[in-house]
Structure 1
Amino acid sequence: MPEEFHRIRRLPPYVFAEVNTAKARARAQGEDIIDLGMGNPDSATPPHIVAKLVEAVADPRTHRYSTSKGIPGLRRALANYYRRRFDVDLDPETEVISTLGSKEGLANLAAAITSPGDTILVPNPSYPIHQFGFIIAGAAVRSVPASPDEEMLRALDRAVRHSVPKPTALIVNYPSNPTAELATLDFYREIVAFARRHDIWVMSDLAYAEIYFGDEVPPSILQVPGAKDIAVEFTSLSKTYSMPGWRVGFAAGNPRLISALARMKSYLDYGAFTPIQVAATAALNGPQDCVAEMRALYKERRDVLLKGLAQAGWDVPVPQASMFAWAPIPPRFADMGSVAFSKLLLARARVAVAPGIGFGEYGDGHVRIALVENTHRLRQAVRSIRGFLAQDNAGPAEPVLSAAG
């Protein structure tokens, strides 16, 4: 028998696991590690959402199987969100489906629409499921630049002219994870025109739509006239309402893609636990002060972190959206790559970050820093990083991390 199954052979070892293993080992030895690696919101879910869950779970009728496409009230709530936020009309029956977080939806839609050998266009760097959802499904991935600009548009044109077979789908993700870049509505117009011209499906990941810090409000690709002819968009409640463990997301847009995802999911799951869906409906329909408070919280954390890093001599671009900073590796460490630098930072500063190569080979010159600790802990992290950068770091990492690879 082969040592590895066919689909597993196409998946490299999960890069983040190396740093996570080192982090766990250090904590087991009593080290205080400040974890800024995983984008795992630390704030409590707003009380009115939790109260609705408790109320719903007390009703035994909600304990039965749910429906894989989501309860009608939840799909209507998502349609209402798109109407008030983006002025986009959606049919809750044919253009909206609830998913178990956006990650599950992306992966299952990739499986539904992909034939072995298809060519898929994916920004590099980008969130791992964007490429590996299609790789698992048997596709070949062609990387394109991640920045929403002319360089990306030129790369898309080259990909159509020189890829065999011609690309069948394109991923876009703005605000971006990991780079925190924003796209404009004009950029989306270019993407929609390109996709319609070449009969390419577009999957837009809009998970960070509500985490923005300036006057530039992230748009939806579905705002572009004709977008629903070729595009579907994924959103999530994980970051917007601090509900990551609840696993509630959505796909919205093209009816054919929504139908394909619904058919796939009908074989795989019965949807999220009904009380969770009821609570998610309350989140979307209820008071939105909590969303504004969440934005203010992440902005405060962003400012504390980046000011401190700048004072320590580490210049990091100021993100205008998302809950991440995409930090170039300081020049004197650049040659070591993002995994080695992340492990060195963990060993010497006791701060965990995500190595950029985990988001694609073109991310290897960066690390991603998540704003998932309070300002006190962020200041503590900055002090530790300042001390680390002031040291002579030519030597190897401490022995506690040596077995992590």
Structure 2
Amino acid sequence: MAPNDSAETNGGTRGTAAGRRKAARYIVPVAVAGVAAATIGLVPALASSGDPDLPKISAQELIEKIAASDTEQLSGTVKISTDLGIPSLGGLAESFAPSGGGKGGSSADPQERMTELASGTHTLRIAADGPDKQRLSILDNASEYSLIHNGDQVWAYDSKSDQAYHATEKQAGKEAGRDAGKKPGHPVPEGVPTTPKALAEQVLKAAGPTTSVTVDGTAQVAGRDAYKLVVKPKQSGSTIGSVTVAVDAESGVPLKFTLLPAAGGKAVVDAGFTEVDFAKPDASLFTFTPPKGTEVTEADDAKAQPKADKGLGDLIPGADAARLGAGEPGAKNTKVIGEGWSAIAEITTPGATGLPSKGAGDVPAEAQQFLDALGDKVTGKFGSGTVFKTRLVNALLTDDGKVYVGAVTKDALVKAANSAS
């Protein structure tokens, strides 16, 4: 095992469908947790067959090795498990799920399907051959969902519903770039890295004076020797305990990603390669022709369709403002309190309205049950409100319509709301 080396790095049953949608608007910043889970992404869980003996390496050298990695060809199987501690949506699931085509859009639309990775355990197959050819498949018991990028063409296919979604790279890139702050030409939806390296780069961007970065031994992942890079907050109040990235000793490619909560217990996200191959993938993996009888939705048609049922992102007050707070132009209703791992976004929701009170009459029973299970009532100098909890991201919605959200504890949210009053 390599010696430890460290470096401090700067850096219902009631109501109509319309009623459900109305009630769903009050299901606050849970979507933020989904985005956080998606941001944690596709990268890498696995079996260890003993710790290999590798040459000593410093944290700075390992970070540089990741940055210098020029691997563009790989294929493999990834297992990802996400446990945010979110209660079951129960009867509300119908409101959140893709409609399966028609008025609500295609069940193959990547913007719909990638949210599946925000919870549960999934097996993925990925392949990449340079910047113009990538494929990602989500495997189910008897079906498969695939997203294929080949040159200027992007296809997605859901074998269960026999529906396909088609876009040019320019169309897909505009959507992904707008939603995720990425450059045009990126065909994957918000927060979903296309390679393990993309995840590690996102995590390392958080490294600064509030962060400790160390090398903590070695591991073997998917049959390959790897170093373990550990990133920890130096600040108190964060819900994040540590992030460990297993980095391939030869290529510098991240092979495994584990995020542990500060409160202890199982990983919030544990994702990693079970098999990986750095040889050139077969070209047939990046070609797609819709099977006969497949319902194909073009990107322009999907964009024109109503989006009322598209998912959690439309179901929370201030969700658009929260997304803007991540760096999009026009974030007029959002400001950031604090910095680093304890940063909190303060969002003024449109109309400045809080949650409806019990018995208000416009909340279906299943929606109220969901809210009661997820939220804790709190009071302070700011007045009163409800804190909605997950194992990673927490959010305080005050009764006067402000949202405080971050990967921080309930006490940190209340303190931020008090200081802003």
Which TM-score applies when normalising by structure 2? 0.24
- Structure with a larger share of its residues in strand: 2
Which TM-score applies when normalising by structure 1? 0.24
